[in-house]
Amino acid sequence: MTRGLQVRNLRVEIPTRRGVLVAIDDLSFDIAPGEVLGMVGESGAGKSITGSAIIGLLEPPGHVAGGEILLDGQRIDDLPPERMRHIRGKRIGMIFQDPLTSLNPLYRIGYQLTETILTHEAMSRHDAVEKAVRLLEEVGIPAARQRLSSYPHQFSGGMRQRVVIALALAADPELVIADEPTTALDVSVQAQIIALLKRICADRGASVLLITHDMGVIAETCDRVCVLYAGRLAEIGPVRQVVRHPQHPYSQGLMAAIPSLADDPGEELAQIPGAMPRLGAIPAGCAFNPRCGFAFDRCRAERPPVYPAGGSQAACFLHDPAPQILPPHDIAREARDAGLGLPGRREGAR
């Protein structure tokens, strides 16, 4: 049996009065136990919707319309709500961007932790309290036993996020989905939360899906990265490969927009022209083609499959090895010069 998370050809639709919008279109990826997969892309790329689809919390009328989601070989996307609710608490932990959405302001931290533990594990209340103390200690809350009696508003933002991580880990989940867990925190606290998440998940062997728009967080935290564009996979591969040698023009644009200490202070940052298309206006062919400097006729007519590309995989015709469908020669050469790492045999293609 395959362990970890497997997402196969996921499709998420949102019916509206004007027609059906496709929020996620044929998305596939895996996360092995103990692995951290980062999911990155602009706002509207489909990152959070993917996480919501996995845990069964899509906002109606949005729904999974196709594909499969498997956790340790068991399909979970078609389970009844009651069974999914049990899996969501026991086998999948969720860390949201704003800790206050995960914590009830009317109840003490200790009560919220112990009730979560008792819901999913058969143990006495005394043992649940002791486990709650251990969890708070594990996530770095000082004076953990005393802080059980504190309310959420009595913690700083960083400490609240630590409590949320403890809550997500309360039932020893196999998968943790962290949706922008450091966005609302200052840089020093971000680094602490990143280090904490990496250490705990490595120690516990949990699979982690880290959803963020911050490439610095991705580079620091993840083993692999999945780049989304308009609900579709653009590129997936080892984080060092994608950050240093991006193979998709969109990934290349994202990496070029990251400031560097070596940059001239007066120099403008690179930017990708245009904007992410609305769900109701995704162009034919490759969704990125209106913004891509390497687009040619085939990009506007056909949707590219995912090709092997260097050390990663990219949904781009520039990596199609078939010589009869190469783009015009100058485009292929420009792409190579831009660092897209096209196959060497393209050099001799005519």
At residue 261, the pLDDT reads: 58
Q: Tell me whether residue 345 is exposed, middle or buried, using C-beta atoms within 10 angstroms of its C-beta: 0 to 12, 13 to 18, 19 or more.
A: exposed
DSSP 102-115: TS-TTS-HHHHHHH
DSSP 172-204: --SEEEEESTTTTS-HHHHHHHHHHHHHHHHHH
Which residues neighbour 151 within 8 Å (Cβ) at sequence distance 6 or greater? 105, 107, 108, 109
Q: What is the pLDDT of residue 195?
A: 83
Residue 296: per-residue pLDDT:
92
Tokens of 249: 């023009």
- Beta-ladder partners of 71: 5, 74
Write out the chain's pLDDT in tens, 350 residues.
568 999 999 999 999 998 999 999 999 999 999 999 999 999 899 999 999 999 999 999 999 999 999 999 999 999 998 899 889 888 999 998 777 778 999 999 999 999 999 998 899 999 999 999 999 998 989 999 999 999 999 999 889 989 999 999 998 899 999 998 887 778 778 888 888 888 887 888 899 999 988 888 888 889 999 999 999 999 999 999 999 999 999 999 988 877 765 556 666 777 888 999 999 999 999 999 999 999 999 999 999 999 999 889 999 999 998 754 555 555 555 665 665 655 433 333 33
So what's the pLDDT on residue 267? 67
| Cβ proximity of 168 and 108 under 8 Å | no
* pTM value surpassing 0.85: yes
Task: Return d(Cα 119, Cα 130) in angstroms, integer.
Answer: 15
**Burial bucket for residue 142 (CB in 10 Å: 0-12, 13-18, 19+):** exposed
